[in-house]
Every structure is written in C-alpha cells, then in structure tokens.
C-alpha cells in the first residue's frame, strides 16, 4: 500500500485494497492490462487509481509489497514453539494460500525493493531455523543437507502453487510435505 505521512482512513484503505485485489486478478489474466482495466475491475474511476498510484510502476510496486507482507505474515503466523512437523504443515498451507491468491505479485516481486528483500531474508532465516528444529526433532534425517532440503521445499511449494490442481492449500501442503519427507520411492 502507499506509505503516506499519515494513516489512510478506513474507506481509503478499503479502496486501496480493492485496487490491489483487482490488479492481481486483472494482471494475472493479462500482464499488459491498463490502469483503466484495473480501475474498472476494482469498481472505481481511473482517476481514483491514479490518485492512489501515480504510475503503473507505482501500482506494481505496491502490489508486490502488499503480497510480500502477506507472505511474511503467513510465515510469522506460526509460533516458534509449535512442533516442527505441525509448523511445517501450517506454514506451507499459509504460504500456498498467499502464493495462489497473489501469484502474479509474488512472481513479479524482486528483491530490489528493500522491504521485500528484508522480508525474504527473514523468511529464509525462519525456514532455516524451522528445518534445524525439524532435524533436531527427528522429522528430518540427522545427516540431511538442510540447504538442499530448503531448496527442494521451496521448489515443491512453487510447483504446488502453480500447478493446475483443484486441491485446497491444506491438501497441497500435505502433498508438498509428503513428497519432501518421504519422497516418491518405496521405503
């Protein structure tokens, strides 16, 4: 969202949220969509979009920042005291919900924005700590390469979020963790 010198009124905040949600829907379907198309989908005048976001780039930056904050909240919503396997499932389902709902913005976001870079660094650190806790609890093998495990986990999340699959985020999370923890071969 824009960062004005004072907080937005509730109605202005709802308008910005409606614009960002419409931008996600419209740009997911057509990345070249105009500000006018986004305004129409949001149910507001084009001038309202331009009043909140001076340029298309400003709108895209706000959209990516909003999605990054949702991603961060999805990870932070699970306590560090939650058992590792439960935490992995909850975080995976939460992240999948964000990646599915905000897919355009999540894929468009780059680490060139300082806030986005900080969020991704924090998520990486939290993931590494969770994988260490999972190994200590016996969820992961004692000799597991945690960097490799995290990379595979991230790839599985990406595939689960982008696959044309009707399953809920919770069911997709189960699939991700089953694949990560058990693989696809027979024991």
C-beta separation of 133 from 61 below 8 A:
no
Query: Going by C-beta distance under 8 Å and a sequence separation of 6 or more, which residues neighbour residue 42?
Result: 15, 18, 19, 21, 22, 23, 49
Q: Residue 163 pLDDT more than 90?
A: no
**Whole-angstrom distance, CA of residue 151 vs CA of residue 155:** 6
pLDDT single digits (tens) 100-151: 999 899 888 776 778 888 998 999 999 999 999 999 999 999 999 999 999 9
State which CATH number among 1.10.10, 2.60.40, 1.10.357, 1.25.40 fits the domain covering 62-182: 1.10.357
Q: Residue 178 pLDDT more than 90?
A: yes
Q: What is the pLDDT of residue 165?
A: 76
Place of tokens 């937005």: 8
Q: What is the pLDDT of residue 111?
A: 66
Band (94; pLDDT cuts 50, 70, 90): very high
Q: Residue 6 pLDDT more than 60?
A: no
Q: What is the pLDDT of residue 107?
A: 85
Q: Residue 97 pLDDT more than 90?
A: yes
Give mean pLDDT, residues 16-42. 95
**Whole-angstrom distance, CA of residue 178 vs CA of residue 141:** 15
CATH, domain range 1-54: 1.10.10
With 0-12 CB in 10 A as exposed, 13-18 as middle and 19+ as buried, what is 109? buried
**Whole-angstrom distance, CA of residue 156 vs CA of residue 174:** 11
Q: What is the pLDDT of residue 29?
A: 95
Token representation of residue 143: 């000799």
Give mean pLDDT, residues 151-177. 91
C-beta separation of 160 from 175 below 8 A:
yes
Q: Domain boundaries in the chain? A: 1-54, 62-182
Give mean pLDDT, residues 83-88. 96
Place of tokens 């990345």: 31
Q: What is the pLDDT of residue 183?
A: 85
Q: What pTM value is reported for the model? A: 0.83
Write down the mean pLDDT value for the chain: 90
**Whole-angstrom distance, CA of residue 113 vs CA of residue 91:** 24
Token representation of residue 114: 């300082």
């Amino acid at each position: 969202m824009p960062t004005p010198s004072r907080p937005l009124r509730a109605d202005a905040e709802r308008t910005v949220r409606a614009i960002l949600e419409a931008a996600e829907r419209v740009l997911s379907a057509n990345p070249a969509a105009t500000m006018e198309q986004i305004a129409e989908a949001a149910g507001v005048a084009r001038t309202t979009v331009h009043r909140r976001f001076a340029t298309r780039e400003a709108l895209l930056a706000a959209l990516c920042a909003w999605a990054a904050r949702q991603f961060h909240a999805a990870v932070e919503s699970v306590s560090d005291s939650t058992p590792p396997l439960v935490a992995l499932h909850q975080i995976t389902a939460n992240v999948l919900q964000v990646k599915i709902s905000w897919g355009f913005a999540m894929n468009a976001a780059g680490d060139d924005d300082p806030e986005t870079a900080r969020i991704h660094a924090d998520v990486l650190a939290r993931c590494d700590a969770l994988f260490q806790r999972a190994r200590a609890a016996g969820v992961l093998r004692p000799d597991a390469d945690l960097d490799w495990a995290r990379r595979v986990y991230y790839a599985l999340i990406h595939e689960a979020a982008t696959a044309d699959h009707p399953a809920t985020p919770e069911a997709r999370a189960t699939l991700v963790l089953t694949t990560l923890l058990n693989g696809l071969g027979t024991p």
